[in-house]
Amino acid sequence: MADTETDVKTTVDTGKFRLLHTMLRVIDLERSIDFYTRHLGMKLLRRVENEHGRFTLAFLGYGDEESHSVIELTCNWGRTDPYEIGTAYGHIAIAVPDIYAVCAALEKAGVRIPRPPGPMKGGRRPIAFIEDPDGYRIELVERA
């Protein structure tokens, strides 16, 4: 029996769709920008202050927003209590060339590494998980 929701094809041409960004809410914007730029090598691409909405957005990534997906950090002014990450959030993933050397350098810099580098059970490609200052998990995947 067919499931009509999953069997219905969209009439929209998705050929030019692309993923723009992933948004993370952060408490201390400067601390988070420092983490992503200093430890992960991202560039601060732009910053948007919204007086009316009382928030600041910072867009970071490895290339311009016209051709690369980026991270949007959102800082709501005056908020000091941490956000609940929840059980639905998983992680973002970043490809790195030598995961063991990267993790050694991150650990030396004080970055939390809850899952040290190594292959997954049944897998061969080494991965690791690190955490940003707000507790968001970032998967590092070794790719040459």
How would DSSP label each residue in 36-57? IIIIT--EEEEEEEETTTTEEE
* Host domain of residue 73: 19-79
How far is the C-alpha of 118 from the C-alpha of 116, rounded, in Å?
A: 7
> Is 84 within the bounds of a domain?
no
> Is 131 within the bounds of a domain?
yes
Between residues 121 and 42, the one the model is more confident about? 42
The pLDDT tens digits for 37-58 are: 999 999 999 999 999 999 999 9
Kindly name the residue from 51, 107, 139, 142 that is annotated as catalytic.
139
Mean of the pLDDT values across residues 108-124?
94
> Structurally, how many domains does the chain consist of?
2
139 part of the active site? yes
CB atoms within 10 A of CB 89: 12
> Is 37 within the bounds of a domain?
yes
